[in-house]
């Protein structure tokens, strides 16, 4: 693996949700660009696979994996501490972990499923920002915090209600954090992916997702994890030195098409269901059919 003129040479990053999809792609891109990386994920088994893939790429000396939950304060604190202990500092925090969470009609949504959705998708971003910013302020050399939101946070109709609300929260949290940390030269930006072909989105049903893509997205090619990794690289690197508080949309034109309505994505399609999905964390989903 070349370390010549990497755009992140000497930088240290923590990436949450590292063991699958966008996080996995970003770990490899950041390592390739010269950064040292702490990968953090709830799924320790996939985390071990990630560590193997980093080893195969010859970058183990610049990589650590830590299993933990972004919704738990101590776990996030430990991830930031691991970066500081292992690599001496923290320059980039990518708060990327997320799950689809609660789905189905509001009137059928369990409170605990709603709370889980916010704990992972919203509280996790708050905690990651809190501990990363503390470390960056202590260092006194600025930094970059990047939060994965979603086009679902920009309007109604692009995802389950709890998920959309949490992702809208991530976008506005990002704007306030950008204001708060600008005097410290810490930039805070969000990425709003559209439909990206990761295990979270396709759940093994690639053809079904391709059909959804054809119906809702103007761009003919699929969104891939690498598209998001490249956006994260831009927001992490000096190339975006004057960019902060932005919600950077990467969606193949999905959100400019005017109509985002896709009720199937909200779990309110022809077969009404309610429940909660924990994506690729290894935690089992709970689903129940509703009366038509
Ligand atoms: N795939 C899409 O179409 C899409 C679109 C918009 C936004 N997003 C968002 O992008 C981000 C990455 O998703 P992805 O598509 O790469 O999914 P993915 O399931 O492939 O990867 C997400 C990773 O996050 C981890 N994770 C989940 N909850 C966690 C927790 N509490 N603590 C630590 N790790 C946890 C999972 O174990 C998994 O490894 C998420 O925030 C997701 O909501 C995805």
More confident site: 230 or 200: 230
Instruction: Indicate the range of 48-62, 90-104, 261-275 predicted with least confidence.
Output: 261-275
Is residue 130 one of the residues assigned to a domain? yes
Give the C-alpha separation, 61 to 132, whole Å.
Answer: 22
Q: In angstroms, what is the span from residue 291 Cα to ligand 1's centroid?
A: 30
Q: How far is CA 157 from CA 45, 163, 280, in A?
A: 34, 11, 23
Boundaries of domain holding 81: 12-289
Q: Over range 264-292, report the average pLDDT.
A: 81
Task: Quote the ligand 1 centre to 108 CA distance (angstroms).
Answer: 24
Q: Is residue 116 part of a domain?
A: yes
Q: How confident is the model at residue 204 (pLDDT cuts 50, 70, 90)?
A: confident
Please tell me which residue, 263 or 256, carries the higher pLDDT value.
256
The overall average pLDDT reported for the chain is 94
CA distance 47 to 15: 12
Q: What is the pLDDT of residues 138-151, one digit of tens each?
A: 999 999 999 999 99
Q: Which of 131, 163, 254, 278 is labelled catalytic?
A: 163
Interhelix angle 73-87/124-139, nearest 10 degrees = 30
CA count, 13 A, side-chain hemisphere, 273: 17
Ligand 1 atom nearest 148 alpha carbon:
41
Question: Does any ligand 1 atom lie closer than 6 A to the CB of residue 150?
Answer: yes
DSSP bridge pairs for 60: none
Please say if the pLDDT value at position 265 is more than 60: no
User: Is 50 exceeded by the pLDDT of residue 3?
Assistant: no
Q: What is the pLDDT of residue 270?
A: 55
User: What is the whole-number distance in angstroms between the Cα of residue 292 and the centre of ligand 1?
Assistant: 31
C-beta 93 within 6 A of ligand 1:
no
Say whether 163 is catalytic: yes
Which ligand 1 atom lies nearest to the CA of residue 281? 37
Residue 108 included in any domain: yes
SS3 string, the chain, reads CCCCCCCCCCCEEEEECCCCHHHHHHHHHHHHCCCEEEEEECCHHHHHHHHHHHHHCCCHHHEEEEECCCCCHHHHHHHHHHHHHHHCCCCEEEECCCCCEEECCHHHCCHHHHHHHHHHHHHHHHHHHHHHHHHHHHHCCCEEEEEECCHHHCCCCCCCHHHHHHHHHHHHHHHHHHHHHHHHCEEEEEEEECCECCHHHHCCCHHHHHHHHHHHCCCCCCECHHHHHHHHHHHHCHHHCCCCCCEEEECCCHHHCCCCCCHHHHCCCCCCEEEEECCCCCCCCEEEECCC
What does the pLDDT read at residue 4?
Answer: 61
Domain count, the chain: 1
Q: Is residue 3 in a domain? A: no
In a domain, 1, yes or no: no
Would 35 be classed as within a structural domain?
A: yes
Quick check: is 4 in a domain?
no
CATH code (residue 19): 3.40.50.720
**pLDDT (tens digit, 9 = 90+) per residue, 85-137?**
999 999 999 999 999 999 999 999 999 999 999 999 999 999 999 999 999 99
> Is 7 a member of any domain?
no
């Amino acid at each position: 693996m070349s370390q010549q003129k990497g755009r992140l040479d000497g930088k240290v990053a923590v990436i949450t949700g590292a063991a699958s999809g966008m996080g996995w792609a970003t770990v490899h891109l950041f390592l390739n660009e010269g950064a040292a990386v702490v990968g953090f994920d709830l799924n320790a088994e996939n985390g071990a696979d990630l560590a193997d893939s980093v080893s195969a790429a010859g970058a183990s000396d610049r990589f650590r994996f830590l299993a933990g939950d972004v919704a738990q304060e101590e776990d996030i604190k430990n991830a930031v501490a691991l970066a500081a202990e292992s690599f001496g500092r923290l320059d980039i925090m990518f708060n990327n972990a997320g799950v689809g969470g609660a789905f189905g009609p509001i009137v059928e949504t369990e409170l605990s499923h709603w709370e889980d959705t916010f704990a992972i998708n919203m509280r996790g971003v708050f905690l990651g920002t809190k501990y990363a910013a503390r470390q960056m302020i202590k260092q006194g050399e600025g930094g970059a915090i990047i939060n994965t939101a979603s086009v679902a946070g920009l309007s109604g109709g692009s995802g389950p209600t709890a998920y959309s609300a949490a992702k809208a929260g991530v976008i506005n949290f990002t704007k306030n954090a950008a204001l708060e940390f600008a005097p410290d030269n810490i930039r805070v930006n969000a990425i709003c992916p559209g439909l990206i072909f990761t295990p979270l989105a396709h759940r093994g049903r690639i053809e079904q997702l391709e059909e959804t893509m054809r119906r809702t997205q103007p761009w003919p090619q699929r969104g891939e994890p690498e598209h998001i990794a490249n956006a994260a690289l831009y927001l992490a690197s000096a190339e975006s030195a004057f960019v902060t508080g932005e919600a950077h949309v990467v969606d193949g034109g999905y959100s400019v098409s005017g109509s985002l309505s896709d009720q199937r994505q909200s779990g309110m399609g022809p077969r009404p269901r309610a429940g909660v999905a924990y994506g690729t964390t290894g935690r089992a989903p709970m689903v129940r059919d509703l009366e038509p």
